[in-house]
Amino acid sequence: MTDPALIALDWGTTNVRAALLDGEGQVLEARKGESGVGSLDEAGFIARFGELTEGWPKLPAIACGMVGSRQGWSEAHYCELPLDVSQLAAKLHRTNHLTIVPGVMKDTLDQADVMRGEETQIAALLAENPAFDGTIVLPGTHSKWARIAKGKLVDFKTYMTGELFDAFAGHTILRHTVQPAELDADDNAFDVAVGDVFMTKGSDWGRFFNLRAAALVGETLPGQLREKLSGYLIGMELSSAAQDGFDVQAVTIIGGGALVERYTRALAVLAADVTPRESDTLIWPALFALAQQANMIGNET
Amino acid sequence: MTDPALIALDWGTTNVRAALLDGEGQVLEARKGESGVGSLDEAGFIARFGELTEGWPKLPAIACGMVGSRQGWSEAHYCELPLDVSQLAAKLHRTNHLTIVPGVMKDTLDQADVMRGEETQIAALLAENPAFDGTIVLPGTHSKWARIAKGKLVDFKTYMTGELFDAFAGHTILRHTVQPAELDADDNAFDVAVGDVFMTKGSDWGRFFNLRAAALVGETLPGQLREKLSGYLIGMELSSAAQDGFDVQAVTIIGGGALVERYTRALAVLAADVTPRESDTLIWPALFALAQQANMIGNET
């Protein structure tokens, strides 16, 4: 282990993670905090950054994520498709306090899409395997599907699955119906829901009220209804992704704990070949590699 | 015009309308108030009923809608499909204060659905035209599609379109994107959105984030994004209804003002033959007819 050499931040809309890395990219210390994106002004961001890195030496800092959006600390521009990862390092956005990884934009006719943060995790996978070819999914509030061809990001699409689950379960009549409940470990309501949606190509918009009615007529257990709602929404994501040209039969999932498990289970319904990866093990090496390529890390000789 | 003979109420989840009718079903006076369903106890309902009918003579009262649900004043049971309208009169739910029209339930395998209130409006159309055959739509928070064969209600389905519009526009990241705005009268963003969804059978679940991204990359005007969201959701309803076996080429719409216009416009995209009907002109005659069939109206000789 060597001396501290870089501060790396994964700075999203809700949370921010910070790590103090040594000259070989090893994590010396990691911290978490609230992100503030969308609510802080510049002075607020400087203060938040100070809290996060308190007691750490003054070092170059690199960040990815929504911190570089228009609602963030300082707007970093977008790269366009197809994207070679080396372009991310070439287009880093430099400010007085930190260097921000650019986002990626897709702006073909009526198919606009954007990502900020996920490109760095994808870059990490591509650094490990420069000839990667296939589909990467980053499930979450806004799930991202990425298509990689010969190590380049050639297409991606965002599905608002996590956020829609919260909106359906919290802000519609389904809120009476989909309360969390204990389930038998072998309950397969989620799997059946995913399969149903996939078979019908996600086209049945009446499924949602059906959950409410099933509760009223006492047809289904409450815990199953929540699992069904989750299965419907993730099933619609899988179905759309397949129709959007993503290979859903061989998928690498990047994410954290329960969400990776849930998507792995959903993809198992399609008999897909799934490679799960924890984002924690990818994000710091990726930011370290980008900082290295941009000569942000001092050469200790 | 004759003496007051009946109090009729259309008592939904949010609002209640009350009318004092004479012995021929003419409206002598109409009032509106908040419904209280879901928040009042029995004493509260009695008080609300008292306020609504204050100064009116003590008369038999008939109500339809969510007042008869489990969260309402007194639970009226459900009729099952296929439903002959005369069955509604035969199964009226009588309480000390008012008589409640039963709802309708559909409980076939994994296709549970319920309605309360819409059955009375449908009954009104069938009273006018006992040989009615075709599709009736009642757009709203929970849009109902009804299939009528030879004057009987044989199938129906609920789409949570209005409520989902509110959840998407108010409780997701789209809230930044779909603020109301002035539009040119000839703007056709809504129509294009309905057509796109119908062509692709509502299967593209990525459309929603696309609205957000289109705003970020400056591709679309803000007012258009709200119209597009509305078009996507109503388009998904139409597409699902068609796949669920409803004839979307000849549709009778029952509703009020702007909503009837919006659905008429959406159906025009499909070149459908549309018959719009104002629910105000249907609900009082329907409740009057049911009260007559149940001998609730005194014979003045």
**A75-110 CB burial, b ≥16 within 10 A, e <16:** ebebbebebebebbbeebbeeebbbbbbbbbbbeee
* Mean pLDDT in residue range B70-79: 93
Please indicate, yes or no, whether residues B188 and B254 belong to a single structural domain of this protein.
yes
Asked if the C-beta of A160 comes within 8 angstroms of chain B's C-beta atoms, the answer is: yes
In a domain, A64, yes or no: no
* Mean pLDDT in residue range B42-59: 96
Please indicate, yes or no, whether residues B246 and B287 belong to a single structural domain of this protein.
no
pLDDT band of B300, cuts 50, 70, 90: very low
Please indicate, yes or no, whether residues B23 and B64 belong to a single structural domain of this protein.
yes
Structure confidence at residue B107 (pLDDT): 84
- Domain residues for the domain of B268 are 161-278
Please indicate, yes or no, whether residues B90 and B170 belong to a single structural domain of this protein.
no
Among A112, A114, A240, whose Cβ lies nearest the Cβ of B205?
Answer: A240
- Read off the DSSP letter of residue B121: H
Please indicate, yes or no, whether residues B166 and B109 belong to a single structural domain of this protein.
no
Chain B residue numbers with beta carbons less than 8 Å from the beta carbon of A112 are 210, 213-214, 216-217, 219
Please indicate, yes or no, whether residues B177 and B71 belong to a single structural domain of this protein.
no
Nearest chain B residue to A159 by CA: give it.
B206
- State how far the Cα of A279 lies from the Cα of A33, in Å rounded to an integer: 17
Q: B72: closest CA among B93, B57, B54, B52?
A: B93
Structure confidence at residue A201 (pLDDT): 87
Only one residue has tokens 């509703």, namely: B255
pLDDT digits (tens, 9 = 90+) for B200-250: 888 888 899 999 898 888 767 777 889 999 999 999 999 999 999 999 999
Please indicate, yes or no, whether residues B41 and B108 belong to a single structural domain of this protein.
yes
pLDDT band of B1, cuts 50, 70, 90: low
In a domain, A291, yes or no: no
Asked if B113 lies within 8 A of A160 by C-beta distance, the reply is no
Interface probe for A, chosen from B37, B166, B203, B219 (most Cβ of A below 10 Å), is B203
Interface probe for B, chosen from A209, A228, A236, A238 (most Cβ of B below 10 Å), is A209
Structure confidence at residue B275 (pLDDT): 97
Q: What is the mean pLDDT of chain B?
A: 92
Only one residue has tokens 């035209």, namely: B129
Max CA distance (Å), chain B: 75
Structure confidence at residue B103 (pLDDT): 96
Q: A250: closest CA among A164, A133, A153?
A: A133
Asked if the C-beta of A204 comes within 8 angstroms of chain B's C-beta atoms, the answer is: yes
In a domain, A105, yes or no: no
Please indicate, yes or no, whether residues B116 and B166 belong to a single structural domain of this protein.
no
Kindly indicate whether the ipTM for this predicted assembly is greater than 0.95, answering yes or no. no
Interface probe for B, chosen from A142, A160, A188 (most Cβ of B below 10 Å), is A160
**CB < 8 Å from A in window 94-113 of B:** 105-107, 110-113
Chain B residue numbers with beta carbons less than 8 Å from the beta carbon of A210 are 110-113, 158
Asked if B208 lies within 8 A of A164 by C-beta distance, the reply is yes
Please indicate, yes or no, whether residues B110 and B218 belong to a single structural domain of this protein.
no
What is the CATH classification number for the domain harbouring A221? 3.30.420.310
Residue B137 scores a pLDDT above 60: yes
What is the CATH classification number for the domain harbouring B96? 3.30.420.300
In a domain, A110, yes or no: no
Range scoring the smallest mean pLDDT among A131-140, A222-231, B268-277, B282-291: A222-231
Asked if A204 lies within 8 A of B237 by C-beta distance, the reply is no
In a domain, B152, yes or no: no
Below-70 pLDDT ranges, chain A: 1, 109, 183-186, 219, 299-301
The structural domain count of chain A equals 1
Only one residue has tokens 């009446």, namely: A206
**CB < 8 Å from A in window 49-78 of B:** 70
In a domain, A203, yes or no: yes
Residue B128, min C-alpha distance to chain A (Å): 29
Structure confidence at residue B299 (pLDDT): 52
In a domain, B22, yes or no: yes
Which position has the higher pLDDT, B2 or A69? A69
In a domain, B37, yes or no: yes
Range scoring the smallest mean pLDDT among A230-244, B34-48, B91-105, B198-212: B198-212
